[in-house]
Amino acid sequence: MYQFDYHRAQTVAEAAELLAANDENTLLAGGQTLIPTLKQRLAMPAKLIDIGNIADLNFIKAEGDAITIGAATKHADVAASPDVAKHLPALAHLAAHIGDPAVRNRGTIGGSLANNDPAADYPAAALGLDAKIHTNKRLIDADPYFTGMFETALEDDEIITEVTFPHPEKAAYVKFPNPASRYAMVGVFVAKTPIDIRVAVTGAGANGVFRVKEMEDALSSNWSPDAVTGIKVPEDDLLSDLHGAADYRSHLISVMAGRAVAATM
């Protein structure tokens, strides 16, 4: 780890000001990606701005037909929330299966979405549920938010403050973990919301999380596993590595999509 300054921000405004002050400053939320990166000397920030303790970012609110989760809310808190369990059990299940207990008790939803690791779980839920990502500047829809592997629509000095999920009629997330890292090698989130039907895939895309339009259309006319298990995502846009070539990942997307749909029935 290289030397850096540490600043614990009390408010989002304070954090935003510090973030804008120097290109080399970086936000620290749960640190589950950043701290290992620092330990490996792969990053050299001037200042870490810790937003993990800002009260305004730590909450889970069920209001009307939506659940809003503060950006610094830990995975373990989402997993244990009665409101999430009641209205969005698929999200509680997803949060309960991120990483290991240590990760779940430090990692945050905002950190996960801001980092947009191509194998992270939360991006599948955000895209699959058409979540609204609130920042200190604006509101971003999930579709335009995810712009590529480790890339998002966030500007350099923009901070996620909260994420709003609608109550779906049906939703489920099923992942096939990478045997070594246990990150998602393929994770599929399926949801039927009052507005539309969505299938979002994480872990497999060469450009990060993505939707499978063909599966969404098929489910619109027939909400059953059989509707999706025969649909193959083209291998061209999929990741290929030591643990699974693109053809295997394509196959797993169909299988996991079928299992996710089955889990909603």
Residues engaged in binding another protein (CB under 8 A): 1-2, 40-41, 176, 179-181, 183, 242-245, 248, 251-252, 255
Q: Which is nearer to another protein, 179 or 234 (CB)?
A: 179
CB of 77 to another protein, least distance (A): 24
Q: Which is nearer to another protein, 69 or 204 (CB)?
A: 204
**Which residues are CB-contacts of 53 (< 8 A; sequence separation ≥ 6)?**
8, 72
Q: Which is nearer to another protein, 7 or 251 (CB)?
A: 251
CB of 117 to another protein, least distance (A): 12
Q: Which is nearer to another protein, 187 or 244 (CB)?
A: 244
Provide the 3-class DSSP secondary structure of residue 221: helix
CB of 121 to another protein, least distance (A): 16
Q: Which is nearer to another protein, 104 or 134 (CB)?
A: 104
CB of 186 to another protein, least distance (A): 9
CB of 180 to another protein, least distance (A): 4
Torsion angle of the four alpha carbons 133, 156, 95, 248, in this order, in degrees rounded to the nearest 10: 100
Q: Which is nearer to another protein, 208 or 244 (CB)?
A: 244
Q: What end-to-end distance do the CA atoms of the chain give, in Å? A: 48
DSSP secondary structure of 32-101: TTHHHHHHTT----SEEEE-TT-GGGS-EEEETTEEEEETT-BHHHHHH-HHHHHH-HHHHHHHHTSS-H
* Residue 248 burial by Cβ neighbours in a 10 Å radius (0-12, 13-18, 19+): middle
CB 32 within 8 A of CB 99: yes
CB of 240 to another protein, least distance (A): 10
